[in-house]
A and B are shown apart, each in its own frame.
Chain A
């Protein structure tokens, strides 16, 4: 026990001042409580305060390789997502003038039942349609001028959540896509 033995230590000399035999136990409960509270606080803050980051790789700007041999991708694999104002997104599957079944341009948002539902569905179905598990979905992200940085991070996060194998950020808009973007940016 935490005891502080005060006074009498056996061979006391001459002066017989007998101190009381009261042993003074200190109640440590409160101190231990406090210590553990502080430990918890410091443990959590040290590991959680480090900022997280999201790695992003972009294609080189003047990629001579792609210029010589433009990459042709199957339209059945591509899903285009246009990021608009007010946290809205417009997506379509395939070509804009000839979308895949159920892939016509639709407006949705970043919630769980919004774009994620569609992405998850297609991430599964596309390799099946293509008959090759290496030919997965390709997502083209097109942020408009009115979208925010948060939107970009959100959509990249969706890519990570849905495990989309290939995605790219593209800044060029075709006239038709511009029209779609204007619809949601109104």
Chain B
């Protein structure tokens, strides 16, 4: 056999350009990624194959989950101006006076679950402490003291009348997979009582099965 002499040159590729591109993209993705907000009430959402993304703005989320005191409901608003206005309206209704600083601070809270009487205390708390378990008991929604109903009512009023936005608010229910149906139904009824008949159920992602 004849010996074929291989060239001893090492096949090294110039990686400078690739490295540049890679880091450019990396920077872009790091900057555009939004850090996941800590949730005061973590829930395990059930999975579904329906792929509709939730809107980024104009959304109100009602989170239903289990905590120490049993079932509890948390209320979350996406837009800061809506948050501030809603708090003002709720303060008027329940006779709690909020200072502008408190309203400003409240508009940074993504989601909360305390009765109106406990809101001042919650606002005064440092951010990290708010999300510890047991601090927020949930919003009362029994027939005698239905604050959740008022929140839903005033958030719509704030959005449609006071801020005069063109777009109606979207409502989403975020329930824990293990939650019993009657509790979810109570929330649905509450929304339907105010003629919110279209809402979204927040779900996780599941691969689509093949159907023939």
- Which residues of A approach B to under 8 Å, CB–CB? 1-2, 28-29, 31-32, 35-36, 38-39, 42-43, 45-46, 48-61, 83, 112, 120, 143-154, 156-157, 160-162, 171
Contact = CB atoms under 8 A, between A and B. Distances in A.
A52 B203 contact: yes
A42 B30 contact: yes
Contact of B209 (A39, A112, A147): A112
A46 B32 contact: yes
Interface stretch (B116-124, B150-158, B170-178): B170-178
B200 A56 contact: yes
B209 A148 contact: no
Interface in B179-205: 179-185, 188, 192-193, 195, 197-205
A54 B201 contact: yes
Contacts of A149: 46, 64, 175-181, 183-184
Interface of B: 12, 14-16, 18-19, 22-23, 25-26, 29-30, 32-34, 36, 45-54, 64, 172, 174-185, 188, 192-193, 195, 197-206, 208-209, 211
A60 B193 CA distance: 9
Nearest to A112: B209
A143 B180 CA distance: 10
B52 A1 contact: no
A53 B55 CA distance: 10
B50 A29 contact: no
17 contacts: A29-B15, A52-B51, A52-B54, A53-B203, A54-B52, A55-B199, A57-B197, A57-B198, A58-B197, A143-B185, A145-B180, A148-B177, A149-B64, A149-B177, A149-B180, A152-B184, A160-B49
A161 B22 contact: no
Contact of A151 (B34, B49, B181, B204): B181
B169 to A, nearest CB: 14
B195 A60 contact: yes
Contacts of B36: 49
A150 B195 contact: no
A112 B212 CA distance: 13
B171 to A, nearest CB: 10
A79 B108 CA distance: 48
A32 B18 contact: yes
Nearest to A35: B22
Contacts of B30: 38, 42
Nearest to B193: A61
Contact of B182 (A38, A48, A120, A145): A145
Contacts of A156: 48, 201
B25 A39 contact: yes
A55 B48 CA distance: 11
Which 5 A/B pairs are nearest by Cβ-Cβ distance? A42-B29, A35-B22, A150-B177, A53-B200, A28-B15
